[in-house]
Structure 1
Amino acid sequence: MTLETLQKKKILVTGGAGFIGSHLCERLLADGADVLCVDNFFTGQKTNVAHLLGNPNFEIQRHDVTFPLYVEVDEIYNLACPASPVHYQHDPVQTTKTSVHGAINMLGLAKRVGAKIFQASTSEVYGDPNVHPQPEEYWGNVNPIGFRSCYDEGKRCAETLFFDYHRQHGTKIKVARIFNTYGPNMHPNDGRVVSNFIVQALMGTDITIYGDGQQTRSFCFVSDLVEGFVRLMGTGDEVTGPINLGNPGEFTMIELAQAVIRLTGSRSQLVHKPLPSDDPRQRKPDIAKAQSILGWEPRVQLEQGLTATIAYFDKVLSNSGIARR
């Protein structure tokens, strides 16, 4: 056995206490890595990673990526940024700064230490798409001055920075475009459709449908997404992305609400409210590249994933003293 094989890979995960980040930290530790979780806890929750604190290969640090970070690591997963409309619209200027300044700081770190760096981009770079499903070659249809622009354009600019660092400095980059993801560790008040529907159903309140409910989304369970992350990071330097990661199964909001009501046994009724500004009518990934390059495709079916997510939220509500109705 060589000295190299004895050394654990040191991996930084920004936004590591968030919904997806916490699952990624858990997976990387299981794979034998030494993980540094960095989070400013604006949307990340300590409870998401509390069970990892006893692991000698896990370390957590409170830090905001809009400021430089000086650590020695082999790989960086840059997930830091609020991802739900409720949270990213709370302080839109800070949201843009997190995407742009955060990318600059993490790319600067990667350049300094020679680390490979992964950017958690988003399907929001496609905006309200005129092409369906959305392939990576599609440039998108994004409103640059709308209420969602702080997130959409911030992520688009971050992708620009990643590819410019790659071309100008030879930085080893991986860019994934994440489509709607759900699962345990989601924030109960994040305003995303899966968490909204489940919490409303468990509490027996009306389930809010925006617009006519015929707009579609594709829902990927978090364990499938993390598998895609790890596979993309494990590819050779010639693979940069962007690569779509999401579930191509397409469901209307009405269909999702009906599934949640059935699986929770809720008596909640559906109520309709006006569609928010710039809300996309369709969202579905073309995952041909993920299939051919990564050998990846989602395996968890919606009903299976919803069942696990419902159990998580049921426990969260019970621990908060909120009884199911």
Structure 2
Amino acid sequence: MKKIHSAFVTSIDEARLSERRVLRSALAPRRVLVTGGAGFLGSHLCERLLSQGREVLCLDNLLTGRLSNIEHLTSDPKFTFVRQDVASPVAAEVDEIYNLACPASPRHYQADPIQTMKTNVLGALNLLELARQRGIKIFQASTSEVYGDPHVHPQPESYWGNVNPFGPRSCYDEGKRCAETLFFDFHAKHDVEIKIARIFNTYGPRMRPDDGRVVSNFIVQALQNEDITIYGDGSQTRSFCFVDDLIDGFLKLMASGRSLASPVNLGNPVEFTVLELAEQIIDLTGSRSKIVLHPLPVDDPRQRRPDISLAARELDWAPKVSLSDGLKQTIRYFDGLLTQQAHEHAETA
């Protein structure tokens, strides 16, 4: 009798989840959970969702996120901030989930690799369980780092990657790969509707000046007329996507149908060498900085460029902002930030 009763209860639960999905599919999501919402990408996503009339629950432990990124949103009655770590169970009455929680720059995710892995794996488990219980759609911010130092160029979603499982970047690379696995397992076992974006180098206002990423490093150094440090000989390539374009991709991916359960590359396919980036930033800032070379870090990829054919075909998405235009906006942001910091330092001196 116990087995019959258990099966009966399970069938009722599944029927209720199915009913919820049907009801939600007919309505725009009202309340959206954004984890990592006080971070660089998360704050832009919260802002965009609010502009669409959504209610936003922003969850962040402020390890790398900053309250200053979301201060301008706190006066909106549809915005709520909660300080919490996604490695702990999350309970929330929401209709949709965007999981952006995790330090994304090597400097920050390598500072506590065990915590980084917990954020990726336990965070994914906790949020997937919430999505399963509520019968709602969930988005995972994955990364181009799942491709490691690629042997295939450009990188399509079908490429399995070339990743060191126990190097200094593994806590992030393998953590994101594990999170993707969990997402697909919940999709297969519990029919959770999943969306996975593999994000390539993104830049724009609200990047941290101390995150150690190439765009922020070069701009801050150029604005202060300091030497611009290039790791390696500068011939390694990257593709740079402006944040507004990326958020467009997030929203289009989340709005796509259930049939699109594959990871989707989101990034700019136009490729630049790191040296070309440095030279362009020096030119745009009118800096007196000189370029100096340092040894290449362990496991730093030589090439990184997305194949965005899937996003173009299924989402009608492609980046629109040129590197030059995006850099100008980012330079203005950092110039204002550095000026503000200089004033604050002078006042306290």
For Structure 1 versus Structure 2, the TM-score category normalised by the shorter chain is: over 0.9
CA deviation map 1:196-216 (0-9, x unaligned) = 000000011000000100000
The question of whether the paired residues in 2 share the 8 Å contact of 1:172 and 1:237 is answered with yes
- CA distance in 1 between counterparts of 2:116 and 2:207 reads 19
TM-score by length of 2: 0.90
- What is the CA-CA distance between 1:115 and the residue it aligns to? 1.4
- CA distance in 1 between counterparts of 2:313 and 2:202 reads 21
Large movers: runs of 4+ above 2 Å? 3-8
- CA distance in 2 between counterparts of 1:149 and 1:7 reads 38
The letter of the residue matching 2:168 is F
- CA distance in 2 between counterparts of 1:95 and 1:7 reads 33
Q: Gapped runs of 5+ residues in structure 2?
A: 1-22, 345-349
CA deviation map 1:108-129 (0-9, x unaligned) = 1101111100000000000000
Give the 3-state SS of the residue equivalent to 1:320 in structure 2.
helix
Q: Does 1:42 align with 2:55?
A: no
Aligned twin of 1:23: 44
Give the 3-state SS of the residue equivalent to 1:199 in structure 2.
helix
CA deviation map 1:175-224 (0-9, x unaligned) = 01000000000000000000000000001100000010000000000000
Q: Does 1:147 align with 2:147?
A: no
- CA distance in 2 between counterparts of 1:87 and 1:245 reads 22
Aligned twin of 1:255: 276
Aligned twin of 1:314: 335
- What is the CA-CA distance between 1:269 and the residue it aligns to? 0.2
- CA distance in 2 between counterparts of 1:177 and 1:109 reads 22
Measured at CA, do residues 8 and 116 of structure 1 come closer, stay the same or move farther in structure 2, by a change above 3 Å? Answer: closer
Aligned twin of 2:240: 219
Is the helix fraction higher in 1 or 2? Answer: 2
CA deviation map 1:284-319 (0-9, x unaligned) = 000000000000000000000000000000011011
1:160-239 alignment, distance < 5 Å: 160-239=181-260
- What is the CA-CA distance between 1:57 and the residue it aligns to? 0.6
TM-score by length of 1: 0.97
- CA distance in 1 between counterparts of 2:199 and 2:27 reads 34
Give the 3-state SS of the residue equivalent to 2:215 in structure 1.
helix
Aligned twin of 2:100: 79
Measured at CA, do residues 8 and 104 of structure 1 come closer, stay the same or move farther in structure 2, by a change above 3 Å? Answer: closer
The question of whether the paired residues in 1 share the 8 Å contact of 2:29 and 2:95 is answered with no
* Residue correspondences, number: 321
The question of whether the paired residues in 2 share the 8 Å contact of 1:201 and 1:268 is answered with yes
The letter of the residue matching 1:220 is C
The question of whether the paired residues in 2 share the 8 Å contact of 1:8 and 1:32 is answered with no
Structure with higher Rg: it is 2
The question of whether the paired residues in 1 share the 8 Å contact of 2:86 and 2:126 is answered with yes
Query: Which of 116, 124, 134 does residue 113 from structure 1 map onto?
Result: 134
Give the 3-state SS of the residue equivalent to 2:342 in structure 1.
coil
Query: Which of 96, 102, 111 does residue 123 from structure 2 map onto?
Result: 102
- CA distance in 2 between counterparts of 1:314 and 1:109 reads 41
Give the 3-state SS of the residue equivalent to 2:198 in structure 1.
strand
The question of whether the paired residues in 2 share the 8 Å contact of 1:11 and 1:73 is answered with yes
- CA distance in 2 between counterparts of 1:6 and 1:233 reads 14
The letter of the residue matching 1:245 is L
Give the 3-state SS of the residue equivalent to 1:137 in structure 2.
coil
Measured at CA, do residues 7 and 212 of structure 1 come closer, stay the same or move farther in structure 2, by a change above 3 Å? Answer: closer
